């Protein structure tokens, strides 16, 4: 029987922080430390992901790494600070789906072409889920209902987020206008309200709904990723159902576009090797992810570009930006 992985807990954060305070390799002492810029406070998801990547990257790159937290503006503060740093290959920014939305909304002057992708760290596909008491029992039933214009209340986290955009684009792909969308403070509340019947459909990541899915209260139907997911075998990808839409909550790493190609390649090789290590792989498993999350620079760059191109027009059509 498949069991869903548990969400990463505070002990992982503490472990990562502790290891980062240990001595760095002797060969790293003469090199400047790499700044890893995040938009999250200490202990936030992006901060934890950055620190877990750094655990072994400091060794594979033979260079110390320090976190620089720049909070505010949905990633705008981090991106604006990134723009002030020299393009010497010693600055890395953790780039997320939230950064792509902020960029698409014009809240920062940073552009896709100003960044050089290094590697992706995590990728958590958006999944459309219903209560297991719903009349929609299969992915095909659900897609047919949306296509037919069935009235449904959709839920996600906040307004103007990846969840909000997901609801808009999924319905648009099936020829439907934006449905009723109810924003909630977080994935936990969203899952609870789905079970309670306050909404008909929720846009969730697997890690957010692990417990109610395993309990048989929530049924995942459509995965907006490129592959099926072993813990939820009844769910199908949107592409398999004729809906060409791939959206994920994702995090990865970039540096400046002006950095020498040899240095970008060095950063990529070091980070990818570090993320193959058992410690990082355990972090992925504890977060409800698998080993497909780490991705090399070329494909990661294409994902960044795709997000930026998709989100800008969507936000305008949704009336969230002019």
Please check whether residues 109 and 134 belong to one and the same domain: no
Please check whether residues 34 and 93 belong to one and the same domain: yes
Question: What pLDDT is recorded for position 44?
Answer: 84
Q: Express each pLDDT in 218-231 by its tens digit.
A: 999 999 999 999 88
Place of tokens 């969308």: 181
Domain finish residue from 224, 241, 258: 241
Please check whether residues 199 and 270 belong to one and the same domain: no
Boundaries of domain holding 77 = 10-123+249-317
Q: Is the pTM of this model over 0.85?
A: yes
Residue 187 forms part of a structural domain: yes
Question: What pLDDT is recorded for position 207?
Answer: 83
pLDDT band at 322, cuts 50/70/90?
Answer: confident
Domain finish residue from 241, 265, 300: 241
Residue 213 forms part of a structural domain: yes
Question: What pLDDT is recorded for position 269?
Answer: 98
Question: What pLDDT is recorded for position 16?
Answer: 53
Mean pLDDT of 39-60: 93
Domain finish residue from 192, 217, 241: 241
Mean pLDDT of 256-266: 98
Using the CB atoms, write b or e for 175-191: b if 16+ within 10 Å. Answer: ebeebebeebeebeebb
**Interacting residues of 190 by C-beta distance below 8 A, sequence separation 6+:** 155, 156, 157, 184, 199, 202, 203, 204, 208
Mean pLDDT of 290-307: 95
Please check whether residues 118 and 256 belong to one and the same domain: yes
């Amino acid at each position: 029987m498949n069991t869903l992985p548990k969400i990463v807990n505070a002990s992982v954060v503490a472990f990562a922080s502790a290891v980062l305070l240990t001595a760095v390799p002797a060969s790293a002492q003469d090199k400047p430390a790499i700044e890893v810029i995040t938009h999250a406070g200490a202990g936030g998801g992006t901060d934890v992901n950055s620190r877990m990547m750094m655990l072994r990257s400091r060794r594979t790159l033979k260079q110390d790494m320090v976190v620089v937290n720049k909070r505010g503006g949905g990633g705008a503060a981090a991106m604006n600070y990134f723009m002030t740093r020299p393009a010497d290959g010693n600055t890395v920014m953790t780039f997320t789906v939230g950064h792509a939305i902020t960029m698409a909304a014009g809240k920062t002057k940073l552009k896709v072409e100003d960044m050089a992708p290094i590697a992706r760290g995590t990728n958590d596909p958006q999944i459309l889920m219903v209560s297991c008491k719903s009349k929609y029992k299969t992915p095909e039933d659900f897609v047919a209902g949306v296509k037919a214009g069935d009235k449904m209340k959709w839920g996600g986290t906040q307004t103007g987020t990846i969840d909000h955009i997901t609801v808009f684009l999924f319905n648009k792909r099936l020829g439907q206008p934006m449905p009723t969308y109810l924003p909630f403070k977080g994935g936990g509340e969203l899952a609870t309200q789905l079970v309670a019947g306050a909404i008909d459909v929720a846009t969730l990541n697997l890690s957010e709904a692990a417990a109610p899915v395993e309990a048989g209260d929530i049924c995942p139907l459509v995965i907006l990723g490129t592959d099926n997911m072993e813990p939820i075998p009844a769910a199908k990808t949107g592409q398999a159902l004729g809906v060409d839409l791939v959206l994920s909550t994702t995090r990865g790493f970039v540096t400046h576009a002006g950095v020498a190609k040899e240095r970008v390649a060095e950063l990529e090789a070091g980070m990818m090797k570090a993320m193959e290590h058992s410690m990082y792989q355990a972090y992925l498993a504890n977060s409800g992810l698998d080993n497909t999350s780490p991705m090399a620079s070329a494909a990661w760059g294409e994902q960044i570009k795709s997000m930026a191109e998709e989100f800008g027009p969507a936000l305008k059509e949704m009336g969230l930006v002019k």
